[in-house]
Structure 1
């Protein structure tokens, strides 16, 4: 850069100068590093993304190529596998042999049911049945123990064999181990199985993948067969279980019915509630008594009427011959017949013999005797009527008494009938329940052996003729996509893991610090880089490398607006950041401009300036501080540039605090009087505590960070230490910047345009 461009650079640096806050402990948002992260977190900048991709192109290409080759090799070496597919359909139509209700109903035509059956096909129970049916546990394809181990498995087997040597085989084959082996076989079978529903239909595809085509078809068909068999067995088992349960329930219900009916009969007997023809004996007895009572009452009325009639006839003056019973009496009829005969003889003899004839008298006495007999017989008839009336009345009274007793018994029976009805209802309910269970048991028994599966095989699996995997073309396409993805991922990861600082924007945004400038890597800007940097500054004063130090000098002078900057402490967070080289080059470049410059070696541990200048002085900084030598005696003049150097003598290492003494303060004051620009070449901040004491005495601290190498967190830790002592951090300068690579990293940074203006310098 020419001298005419210096004011523009000075103004730009002056506008950007700011000091980080002492209490700042963390970077601003966007702490992810690299241009890629910056683009993701900030506004989208396609050019920045392109630059990030370009500088990581080799990494991306290597990652993509590695993934693609790995996929290709795996695909080429993979064992060909064949897939056979059988189709089953859930049949919503069912044959109805009987009209009896099924124990286990058929599957409803529901979408969720079809999806459930798809999952049932993947059940471990069905897989276990397939394994047992086809003896797949003896097939090396599914049983890893039967395969010959290779690679890592062989090493593990050998190690296991050493530990298990001498242990009996039956001791190793524990039940748990055997179960694990069976589970591994089942897992291997399930991993080869694929089940899917065909669209929204009731058809389910059962696919199986195997290394052998015939085996794939056999296992797929066996899956379909056992699936149908399992459905039938489920129904058969449900029917049998229902039959057993119904039979057991029937035995209990039968005993309950017998007990309830026995309770009814016992209650009837105990409460005299015996019945015939639907009515109790008491009710039948009362009915009979009612009929007999009515007859008895009629009989009494009849007898009383006859007696009353006879008595009225006799009271009316009748001789009783006209009484109804007398008229029908055979005795009276016989006596009347005799009287007629006797009366006829009397009439005959009255005319023949006269009234006084003995025969006449005899006949009259005989007639009187017959009349007397008739009257006696009539009297007996009247007496018989009276006796019959008494008997009828007594019979009526007896029947009425018996009826009353029967009615009392009926009332008691009616009261007992309430409990009887309850017992009868209980017995009837038990009988009804027993009959319903008996009918259901008979229906269930008839269903055994006629169960139907809810599905049927639509098409059996055919032996495949082409391998289903590996699909070389598809795998290569996937490998290409994965390679591209891994390449992009590698770029993103590399950018995120790039903890170093790259551009001025990184310094200002991530560290919240002033950017002082960039010190290029000599090999990246010089065609002939055989000279050391400190020599190159003198040999090529108009080169871009020398111009970088002049820019740094200008930025340092304006790092504190309104205040002069004479004493500058150059430090870094870690060793190897280029502090001594920067200090010497900065001093020589400034001296060539006519500035009175002094470089002080303040690194008591390294004495890097002596090695850089290839001198071993006998007097140095410590001797000046102790008074053993004057400043003029200790200062070494750089004859090539005119810069003054204050080195450290070989015995410079001391445990004393030399920088915090009043002698150091007086010496710094003397430096400020004698020189225009004083550069303190300090040790790193993090490992050496003396730097913090010396940094607080300088007008500004120039913090160096190695381009793309120094971690951001290390710089922040050093900033916190310097902030605690009140040191003024003038800014950060990036060192060892590869200007050729910066054209790929530093989009927006002045170094990004290095290719455009590099010919401007006389290298």
Structure 2
């Protein structure tokens, strides 16, 4: 066959250039304006949710919630020192300090289970239904639970045991603890005690009783501490009195058993001992000197040696006369006299030294004994004195404690007693309404924002064009007919409807984009099944037929044969038989009387579809059809499911990609475009199909697209 093939310009890249797939994926960018627009689009839904929340809050506060009454009293932590100022005595039992730690500690004391237990016992709260759930009227839930439990329990089961009184008491304490609130006023030692119950009188009684119990516990603690201190001091004074008597008796006994002298006499004896020691040392030195002289005198043998040893002037004069017999006799006599004198001095000094040393030894013994006795006496005296001081101190403290027992005061006092509540403090009806409105707003706004952020579908043509980088050539609304067989009849019976005008717009876009003439072979595809490509193929063929064109609708989805199902035909012979030469084209083609379009469906076959469309027989067959038809529309299978469409796209003049409104996912479109790009077959344009008018209004797009506004309805006739 010799013919001219009119290739569609939009699908042919420039010579020498490789077209780059550009997909704008801004899914990770949060557009604040987009979020605000999403909230504005759902403003009526948000307003409705806010109103429902306010009404719910009002209903809960006025019809469901039980009124609660809060009574409060204020207590100041005021450490007392009046006991010292009144009695002039220091406190044995110290009061509390006023630092932050002490104030917080006292708050925990008020919240203690011991103190609250006293309130429960005094007011007999275990007999009040609010603090004893067993006394309440069983709720519907409780009755149903009991009924179900009874259905599965045997008749021999023992009846429920009586509740333990202590368990009821502990439970009442726990409930009271939850109803108690304590607030420390800033920069003060004042704290506010509040109780919330179901009755105003009960709240007032409980909070007053709790304040009294708290102050009473402080007084009781102080009295008990004073009593404990008095008992301990009494025992201690008694013990110290016995110790003092024993110490004094030991001093007296020691004095009686020893001959003690005074400290002054002992000092005099020590002085006398020192003098005797000095005299003894001097006498000993003189004796040693005399003995040494005697040794020198006795050692001399010659007259000269005797003269030098004697050192006597008379002997020296006699030495000069030693040459005569008389002079020698005088010298010897004088020398003998000197030796005898020295010997006499030695004897005398020895007689003096012995008694002196004996007296000194005796005196030393006496002084040593007296010193030891005096030291022991002083130690006993000090022990007795120390015991006396302790005894007097503890005796004084005992007297002070006895005085303070009658003047103890609590470290806290009540500033203002509780006043009976004039009205319920809970529920706060206005606050409940505000909270309900806020929750309604947050709930709906959150849903809208989450839907906006997580939405990966396409809702406008501009969004699809920005993502895919191709023009949206048609926007087709959702047809009111659900059955496929009724779609063609609807378009035929309503030629001025919005759907018919949308098909005409698609046809016009194709014609204008091709220089005023429609592309001869048009393939339609989508990402996945169910996006409406078969319906659009039939409608587009019908519309081209309205221009007087000879149109052939070719079933390219030979695996599922959706077009055959659409027309309700199941031929044994079809397109494959014609291509393979088993049948003539005229014997197989179907001429639809309603649309005037020729339709060539496919039959069931075991051949591989991709191999079939890639065969030279199919290309030759399609070239032959170009000579007989002005427009050939091929309904192809989804590109993400099978590769058939990428083979067919190489034989077509235009490739239209259908995207179902608010259904097809962005990653699916991105992957489909990538597949076409890898095969060197870029798409001609998009078709945004099955647009919901109600959905557009819900998303707030209706006012921005004329076909879906109230103005657009003036141009269409859906009747």
TM bucket normalised to smaller: 0.5 to 0.7
CA distance in 1, matches of 2:239, 2:622: 118
Q: Indicate the SS of the match to 1:466.
A: coil
Matched, 1:152 2:145: no
Matched, 1:658 2:609: yes
Matched, 1:636 2:585: no
User: Partner of 2:461 in structure 1?
Assistant: 504
CA distance in 1, matches of 2:392, 2:581: 125
Unaligned runs of 5+ in 1: 1-9, 295-389
CA separation of 1:128 and 1:697: change in aligned 2, threshold 3 A = farther
1:518 equivalent among 471, 475, 489: 475
Please report how far the alpha carbon of residue 657 of structure 1 lies from its aligned counterpart in structure 2 after TM superposition.
2.0
Matched, 1:587 2:541: yes
What is the CA deviation profile of residues 668-706 of structure 1, one whole-angstrom value per residue up to 9, with x for unaligned ones?
464256156543323445666766766687666534333
RMSD (Å), alpha carbons: 5.7
User: Partner of 2:26 in structure 1?
Assistant: 28
1:81 equivalent among 63, 68, 74: 68
Instruction: Trace 1:667-686 onto structure 2 (pairs within 5 A).
Output: 667-668=618-619, 670-671=621-622, 674=626, 677-684=631-638
Unaligned runs of 5+ in 2: 1-8, 279-349
Conserved 8 A contact 1:63-1:490: no
User: Partner of 2:342 in structure 1?
Assistant: none
Please report how far the alpha carbon of residue 74 of structure 1 lies from its aligned counterpart in structure 2 after TM superposition.
1.9
CA separation of 1:672 and 1:557: change in aligned 2, threshold 3 A = farther
CA separation of 1:172 and 1:136: change in aligned 2, threshold 3 A = closer
Equivalenced residue count is: 618
Instruction: Trace 1:383-422 onto structure 2 (pairs within 5 A).
Output: 398-406=358-366, 409=368
User: Partner of 1:708 in structure 2?
Assistant: 662
CA distance in 2, matches of 1:593, 1:634: 25
**What is the TM-score when the length of structure 2 is the normalising length?**
0.67
CA separation of 1:540 and 1:157: change in aligned 2, threshold 3 A = closer
What is the CA deviation profile of residues 345-375 of structure 1, one whole-angstrom value per residue up to 9, with x for unaligned ones?
xxxxxxxxxxxxxxxxxxxxxxxxxxxxxxx
Please report how far the alpha carbon of residue 762 of structure 1 lies from its aligned counterpart in structure 2 after TM superposition.
7.2
Conserved 8 A contact 2:237-2:395: no
1:72 equivalent among 58, 62, 81: 58
Matched, 1:106 2:61: no
CA separation of 1:457 and 1:641: change in aligned 2, threshold 3 A = same
CA separation of 1:624 and 1:115: change in aligned 2, threshold 3 A = farther
Q: Indicate the SS of the match to 2:57.
A: helix
Instruction: Trace 1:127-166 onto structure 2 (pairs within 5 A).
Output: 127-160=116-149
Instruction: Trace 1:161-560 onto structure 2 (pairs within 5 A).
Output: 184-198=171-185, 200-235=187-222, 276=260, 279=263, 286=270, 398-406=358-366, 409=368, 438=394, 442=398, 445-446=401-402, 450-472=407-429, 475-476=432-433, 478-480=435-437, 482-483=439-440, 486=443, 488-489=445-446, 491-492=448-449, 495=452, 500-509=457-466, 514-523=471-480, 532-538=486-492, 544-553=498-507
CA distance in 2, matches of 1:487, 1:169: 51
Conserved 8 A contact 2:579-2:621: no
Larger Rg: 1
Please report how far the alpha carbon of residue 584 of structure 1 lies from its aligned counterpart in structure 2 after TM superposition.
0.8
CA separation of 1:391 and 1:68: change in aligned 2, threshold 3 A = same
**What is the TM-score when the length of structure 1 is the normalising length?**
0.63
Please report how far the alpha carbon of residue 658 of structure 1 lies from its aligned counterpart in structure 2 after TM superposition.
1.8
Q: Which stretch of the first structure deviates more once superposed, 200-209 or 155-164?
A: 155-164
User: Partner of 2:49 in structure 1?
Assistant: 63
What is the CA deviation profile of residues 110-138 of structure 1, one whole-angstrom value per residue up to 9, with x for unaligned ones?
56755664565445554444334433334
Please report how far the alpha carbon of residue 582 of structure 1 lies from its aligned counterpart in structure 2 after TM superposition.
0.9
What is the CA deviation profile of residues 415-473 of structure 1, one whole-angstrom value per residue up to 9, with x for unaligned ones?
x98xx999999979997996799479748954557543221122322333433334545
CA separation of 1:614 and 1:218: change in aligned 2, threshold 3 A = same
CA distance in 1, matches of 2:615, 2:430: 77
CA distance in 1, matches of 2:658, 2:189: 74
User: Partner of 1:318 in structure 2?
Assistant: none
Q: Which stretch of the first structure deviates more once superposed, 249-258 or 122-131?
A: 249-258
